[in-house]
Amino acid sequence: MFILNSQERVYTPFRGPFDPCPPVPFKTFVVPPNQFINFQPPNLPQFSLPEALRYGTLWPALFSPYESKSKGGK
């Protein structure tokens, strides 16, 4: 397993000897930033209200720039 950035993880899925599907070389998943913060420190910086609505969180430390890998749009 190797790390692409601090939030994205990569792993190789199991492939059984009799699996009829073509092998998938690797899969990725995102670990949300709240998994790295054990407690909320006092005086944590905050986004302004319009920014918080745009980013989906009040605190920049909890913002995750996740982008969907699907090609179907939003």
- pLDDT tens-digit profile of 15-66? 888 989 888 899 988 888 888 888 888 888 999 999 999 988 899 988 887 7
Tokens of residue 19, six digits: 């699996």
With respect to residue 32, please indicate whether it lies within any of the assigned structural domains. Answer: yes
DSSP H helical ranges for 1-48? none
With respect to residue 68, please indicate whether it lies within any of the assigned structural domains. Answer: no
Is the pLDDT at 71 greater than 70? The verdict is no
Q: pTM, whole model, 2 decimals?
A: 0.59
- Reference 47, options 59, 32, 39; nearest CA is 59
Count of structural domains within the chain: 1
With respect to residue 12, please indicate whether it lies within any of the assigned structural domains. Answer: yes
> How much is the average pLDDT of 64-74?
66
pLDDT at residue number 23: 87
Is the pLDDT at 1 greater than 50? The verdict is no
pLDDT at residue number 72: 55
Determine the length of the chain. Answer: 74
Q: CB 17: neighbour CB atoms within 10 A?
A: 4
